[in-house]
A and B are shown apart, each in its own frame.
Chain A
């Protein structure tokens, strides 16, 4: 059961600010200039990103606690505490002893790693800062969550690029389902630094006009983002004990790999990925017909969106069924920071459907028009949501979310329901 959602990004802190961002026509208003004073950027490249640097975390993190933390650690702890608060834990520390932590990060604490390298390479190893080193490890955010939320259960940091977020939720769900931990804080965090931004741009991964156009014929890259999204997962019994409000249920999860992928790129193995996805759904006892909505990790990347689209087409095509509606939240949330995971949970919880893009041109090879969700009379949230992502480098992961059971129908401004 997902009983807590904490999220921070360019849109601000908390699920309300995420909802507002999802309701926006595009991401323009949230873009900030990336700092180009270090001279890393190439001329004519992307200059803006979805940054969280102006978002105050003061409500969630005291200056004393944050003193040595790297930016991703701060974002992750804030999101974890938000998730706990959302789930009804008033006291941030009691009763947390066996909670597990599963966090995904694509690039880890990049700003600290970079500063560390500068010290070592240009000032000399003797100038190396212990602060920077201890907080430059990929598992720093997970470790800080464990320390500050007193989570003494299993702790894991997954680094599988764009596929890691859903893998982390799967890990958290496995911890809870197996009894290894009664609760889990699981999610994703990333920071977007000038260096990272400049390198992504030089690799041709970013859209130079900072427009994210998932599945669109004109798509030319993604928009870089940073932030953290953390979910609190727990057993049904544990949720019931606290009369906690359940946002959604994790029904199944899985991942697969496309060995045709080049290093850090996307391959062409959509058929095999589709086979793996179908097999995973079968093993989980899920009938395709029960999937009402797909939340896709498509970001606007030429290769990634293509791979994901063809994979989904193949899965439904083999059953000769039309694809359910597909949402592509990265159109407004960008890539990295787990925002799309938050959007998927909100979609599963009901009442949060982003409007379609103002202008869209169908890519004939993909034949997908995202963010068109038919109005339906019922006010209930969708029964089942499939969330998918494909990573640069070959990994792919998916998650199946279900509606909260035995919950009264949600009253929400834009609602839609299962057929």
Chain B
């Protein structure tokens, strides 16, 4: 077992913790499931909260222009974005 969890797992944990999703375990979030609108039903403020958590966790800065729907559409797309930045 490597010390660092894979990026998707870390993102899922952050989603559950920073967004106070009670009753949902990180493993329950599918990599490709929609995060906003349907699926987890998160909204724009959740997205921004997640951004703060992601910036802190991965030591990156996410510019406002990068906060597009596509990047945030699923854990997979977020993961790709983060890995491209770190």
Interface string of B7-37 (1 = CB under 8 A from A): 0000000000001111100000000000000
Contact A130 B55 (CB under 8 A): no
Contact A67 B19 (CB under 8 A): yes
Binds B, one of A35-43, A121-129, A400-408: A121-129
Interface of A is mostly: helix
Contact B23 A63 (CB under 8 A): yes
Chain B residues contacting A63 (CB-CB under 8 Å) are 22-23
Kindly state whether residue A134 has any CB partner on chain B within 8 Å.
Answer: yes
Contact A130 B52 (CB under 8 A): yes
CA–CA, A68 to B23, complex, Å? 15
Chain A residues contacting B61 (CB-CB under 8 Å) are 126
Contact A129 B22 (CB under 8 A): no
Chain B residues contacting A128 (CB-CB under 8 Å) are 52
CA–CA, A146 to B45, complex, Å? 18
Contact B49 A130 (CB under 8 A): yes
Interface string of B38-73 (1 = CB under 8 A from A): 000000010011001001100001000000000000
Interface size on A, residues (CB 8 A): 10
- What's the minimum C-beta distance from A127 to chain B, rounded to whole angstroms? 6
Chain A residues contacting B19 (CB-CB under 8 Å) are 67
Interface string of A59-84 (1 = CB under 8 A from B): 00001000110000000000000000
> Given that A126-B55, A127-B56 are contacting pairs, would A67 and B21 also be in contact in the complex, using a CB cutoff of 8 Å?
yes
B20 contacts which of A68, A127, A130, A134 (Cβ < 8 Å)? A68
User: Which residue of chain A lies nearest to B20 when distances are taken between CB atoms in the complex?
Assistant: A67
Contact B56 A130 (CB under 8 A): no
A68 contacts which of B45, B55, B56 (Cβ < 8 Å)? B45
Contact B45 A131 (CB under 8 A): yes
List the interface of chain B (C-beta within 8 A of A): 19-23, 45, 48-49, 52, 55-56, 61
* 12 A-B residue pairings within 8 Å (CB atoms): A63-B22, A67-B21, A67-B22, A126-B52, A126-B61, A127-B56, A128-B52, A129-B52, A131-B20, A131-B45, A131-B49, A134-B45
